[in-house]
Amino acid sequence: MLHADEIKVHKGIRFATADRFGAPRAFDSDLDALDVGTYGAQCPQLIGMMEQMLGQSSLPSDEDCFFLNVFTPARDGARRPVMVWVHGGAFTNGTGATPWYHGVSLARRHDTVVVTINYRLGAFGFLHLSDHGSPGFADSGNLGILDQVEALRWVHRNISRFGGDPDNVTIFGESAGGASVLALMATPLGAGLFHRAIALSPSMNQFRTRERAHEVGIHLLAAAGVSAEDLHALPTEAVLSAQNQVLGRAGAFTAFSPTPGEPAMPLPIAEAAALNPVPLLIGTTRDEMLLFTVPDPAYQNMDDAGLLRYATERFGDRAGEAIAAYRQGRPGSTPGAIASAILTDEAFRAPARRLAEQRSRNGHATWMHWFTWETPQFGGLLGSCHALDIPFVFHNLGRSGVEAFTGNGEERARVADCFSTAVTSFARDGNPGWDRYDLNRRTTMRIDSDPHTIDDPEPDLRLLWSPAA
């Protein structure tokens, strides 16, 4: 056990065991003898740009990666609200031990218990092979979600020993972590394990069909050069190599993600999440895709003719109208930046908003936020990009790598105060501090250095994506 400014930090607590491609089995450590001072292994993965930026590239990897970390003000009977963080990383990367996810600041400032978890990734967590008729793959397309469920079961059984309230658990996550939050809302196995949900920039377009999952399974077996039965004995690095080949094909974004049409996930995920009455706070950043398009020559070299082709692929004969609307909302932007804004809405904002709209129709409590603070770093080119909101949610402005991404301006503290207070208030009593989203006002909290609510932000752009809404 480590202490950080009076906060007790318990790292590397095992919550499950599992065989390769097998469902997780519950595991309870001796909670009176916790002295682990290091994080547990992360799931094997190919370290990329985001992982290096977030500071996780030096962590050990192992298929035995079933570990969580607890940050608590005290191991007493106070029954504090519990916040369980599900990391992002496109369902192929990440770990709960990333420095940006360190829970001390959130626990200290807001008297909460923070839990960060690992789960299986890529082929180890989302390789759908149950349609191949091979034994031992019944749950293989959703193992990562089953791992998350098992971690929540551990929380339900044990968090009272860490000063947390098992009857007041909020799940929260960003990107694939935000999509995982929605998957946990969709699976019947999550019922009763959490009481509120926060989805930050959920990558909902990663959700795949069962047919797509089956196709990926065929591609991976071909890349590995083995049968499904032989995949159990393949070395870890060989599985990763085959996974990398699959990710090199077209459609990589949907290669590994939760699989619907199975007992653990019977319905399409967005549909099921819209039907779940658990209160949901959901939102995105303003410029999600700039993180990916700024270094992409296809966007940087795009001219007006290229932008028109790009918009026509998405809006047809309304392409000119769409470009004009985006130029009005993004004055002075290059054609590539306009295309990036279109892609941001296609991939993140429009799907999140459609879910909020459907939940509103279903009468389920939903709140929306919109993170618009722009980083001055990199010449301001990244704007309010994907993942920029994470250190503000955790109020982790001093963590490794954060200043290089956000700068060191004083206004950062105001943004972090606002966002961390909103999410912890929501976790405490279900009220983030503004009105619910509905189809009349569409109230949305704009998270910035001057936070304030907006009714129906950028309605012209919304109508481009949801003309009947």
* Residue after which a domain boundary falls, among 258, 278, 298: 278
Q: Are residues 309 and 251 in the same domain?
A: no
Q: Are residues 131 and 229 in the same domain?
A: yes
Which of these is catalytic: 214, 364, 386, 395? 386
pLDDT at position 262 is: 87
Are 359 and 278 in contact by the 8 Å Cβ rule? The answer is no
384 classed as catalytic: no
Question: Which portions of the chain are predicted below pLDDT 70?
Answer: 1-5, 32-36, 48-57, 133, 135, 467-469
Dihedral angle sign, alpha carbons of residues 303, 309, 310, 311:
positive
Residue 161 — φ and ψ, nearest 5°? -75, -10
Residue 93: other Cβ atoms inside 10 A? 21
Q: Characterise 5 by phi-psi region: left (phi > 0), alpha (psi -120 to 50), beta (else).
A: left
pLDDT at position 136 is: 75
Q: Are residues 63 and 202 in the same domain?
A: yes
Spatial CB neighbours of 73, under 8 Å, sequence gap ≥ 6: 6, 7, 8, 80, 107, 108, 111, 113, 163
Token pair 């290089």: residue: 404
Q: Are residues 323 and 269 in the same domain?
A: no
Token pair 């054609």: residue: 335
The single-letter DSSP state of residue 345 is I
pLDDT at position 2 is: 44
Q: Are residues 230 and 321 in the same domain?
A: no
Question: CA-to-CA distance for 168 and 190, rounded, in angstroms?
Answer: 14
Q: Are residues 296 and 166 in the same domain?
A: no
Q: Are residues 180 and 160 in the same domain?
A: yes
pLDDT at position 1 is: 40
Query: Quick one: tokens of 171?
Result: 């799940």
Q: Where are the alpha helices (DSSP H) in 78-142?
A: 104-110, 122-126
Strands laid side by side in the 366-371 sheet = 2-4, 7-14, 67-72, 113-117, 80-86, 164-174, 196-200, 280-285, 366-371, 443-447, 452-455
C-alpha angle 310-447-342 in degrees, rounded to nearest 5: 5
Q: Where are the alpha helices (DSSP H) in 206-303?
A: 210-224, 236-247, 269-275, 290-293, 297-300
pLDDT at position 467 is: 63
* Residue after which a domain boundary falls, among 222, 252, 278: 278
Query: Quick one: tokens of 452?
Result: 């304030």
pLDDT at position 27 is: 92
Written as one letter, the residue type at 103 is G
288 classed as catalytic: yes
Are 302 and 317 in contact by the 8 Å Cβ rule? The answer is no
Question: CA-to-CA distance for 42 and 240, rounded, in angstroms?
Answer: 14
What DSSP line would sit under 141-193, residue for residue? Answer: GGHHHHHHHHHHHHHHHHGGGGTEEEEEEEEEEETHHHHHHHHHHHSGGGTTT
Token pair 């191949």: residue: 132
Please tell me the number of Cα atoms within 13 Å of 36 on its side-chain side: 18
pLDDT at position 33 is: 62
Are 357 and 439 in contact by the 8 Å Cβ rule? The answer is yes
* Residue after which a domain boundary falls, among 234, 260, 278: 278
pLDDT at position 324 is: 97
Which of these is catalytic: 215, 262, 288, 374? 288
Q: Are residues 384 and 410 in the same domain?
A: yes
Are 302 and 336 in contact by the 8 Å Cβ rule? The answer is yes
Query: Do strands 113-117 and 80-86 pair parallel, antiparallel, or not at all (unpaired)?
Result: parallel
Q: Are residues 68 and 109 in the same domain?
A: yes
Q: How many helices (H) and strands (E) does the chain have?
A: 18, 13
Domain span holding position 234: 2-278
Written as one letter, the residue type at 250 is A
Tallying the residues shown for the chain, one arrives at 469
For residue 273, which of 344, 171, 345 has the smallest C-alpha distance? Answer: 171
Query: Quick one: tokens of 259?
Result: 């699989």
Q: How far is CA 404 from CA 221, 292, 374, 391, 431, in A?
A: 41, 17, 13, 12, 33
Query: Quick one: tokens of 203?
Result: 């990558």
* Residue 57 exposed, middle or buried by CB count within 10 Å (0-12, 13-18, 19+): exposed
Element (H, E) at 206: none
Are 402 and 415 in contact by the 8 Å Cβ rule? The answer is no
Q: Are residues 198 and 327 in the same domain?
A: no
Q: Are residues 137 and 244 in the same domain?
A: yes
pTM comes to 0.95
What's 331's domain CATH number? 3.40.50.1820
Q: Are residues 315 and 264 in the same domain?
A: no
Are 393 and 112 in contact by the 8 Å Cβ rule? The answer is no
Tell me how many domains the chain contains.
2
Which of these is catalytic: 105, 175, 257, 360? 175
